[in-house]
Amino acid sequence: MAESRGRVWTGVIRVGPRQGDHRVALRAVISVGAPLLVLLLIDRLDLSVYASFGAFAALYGRADVARTRVRMQATAGGVLVASMLVGTTLSFLAAPALLRVAVIAVLAAAVTLFAYRKRWHPPGALFAVFAAGATASFPATGATFALVLLVGGASVVWSLVVTTVFALSRRASWRRPPRTRPPIGAVAWEMTATVGAAALLAGIAGALLIGTHWYWAMVGAVAAVGGAHVNARLIRGVQRLVGTLLGVLIAAGLLALDLPPVLVIVIAVALQAGAEMFVGRNYGIAMIFITPLALLMISLASPAGPELLLRDRVLETIIGVAVGTVVAIVSAGLRRRSPTN
């Protein structure tokens, strides 16, 4: 037990080596920054959430060869736009909060299985849950569906253009490497069930206990159960919680300044770069950048009191990580007792 705890705490503070993170950060800056600047110029920053989630396609396949990376980003971009459409549908229908949670939990499970089969990197359904949850919390009309497709789809296409240009400029290999798809077996189904259950329970707890921004609890839970084994999941949960708490302090200072939109965009893009520099090396450090980035983007698209945003981010993250950690431990126990192991 002591040895296991030691591995967890060592994993929490370990910072991995750099592996071309600066190139990924630069691609992310251009992919995310350009759509936001366009929306600023046309005075439609209320659409910034759709643009940001579409641009997140650029974050996939960072370690893959060019051809695989572009294909993965195109697929992930389609899933992100579809997730936003699911969330928009829930908002348009004025679905009860618990129904929204249930639908997004099913989405989380489905995308987890799909990502496993397609060998996505980053793996899992975290961005899809974030996209669906955020859009489900925003007001929607019939016209919103077209805006999601237009703005989100354009951001996906732009991220693919950026990735392609970078690959061509570096004369990257476009040869298709041998790539086997892992079978859908017990491991995949356990991951799928664990993510779905954690997202569902965290979302219900967040909706009932806090009421607002309940999807942050779902995102926290999905992050906490994203590892391949229980130690990896515990490490991920602790890193998300500590990184979020530190990031909230930074966000509090930034939101208190009441910055003009153009400065908010500049800072958000810089935070995105910082997140990409560390997300593959230490998730906790990345969360210090990701947390104020998420809060700044929400404040751009749908202005709300900073106190509410900061409070909800902390409380919903605590709920999500706590639920995710419990589900991860229970899942590991059930796996050990399984007669097939």
> What number of other Cβ atoms are within 10 A of residue 6's Cβ?
10
* The residue type at 55: A
Q: What is the dihedral of CA 153, 199, 123, 21, to 10 degrees?
A: 80
Asked if the model's pLDDT at residue 77 lies above 90, the reply is yes
| C-alpha closest to that of 90 among 106, 78, 80, 103 | 103
List % helix, strand, coil for the chain (3-state, nearest 5).
80, 0, 20
Instruction: Enter the pTM of the model.
Output: 0.89
User: Which pLDDT does position 2 carry in this prediction?
Assistant: 46
Longest dimension (CA), the chain: 61
23-27, 161-165, 194-198: the lowest-pLDDT one: 23-27
User: Which pLDDT does position 187 carry in this prediction?
Assistant: 81
Asked if the model's pLDDT at residue 71 lies above 60, the reply is yes
* Domain-wise residue ranges, the chain: 19-337
Q: Decide which of 207 and 6 is more confident.
A: 207
H or E element in which residue 274 lies: helix 261-278
> Distance between CA 225 and CA 328 in Å, rounded?
6
User: Which pLDDT does position 182 carry in this prediction?
Assistant: 74
Asked if the model's pLDDT at residue 22 lies above 60, the reply is yes
Per the CB < 8 A criterion, the answer to whether 104 and 201 are in contact is no
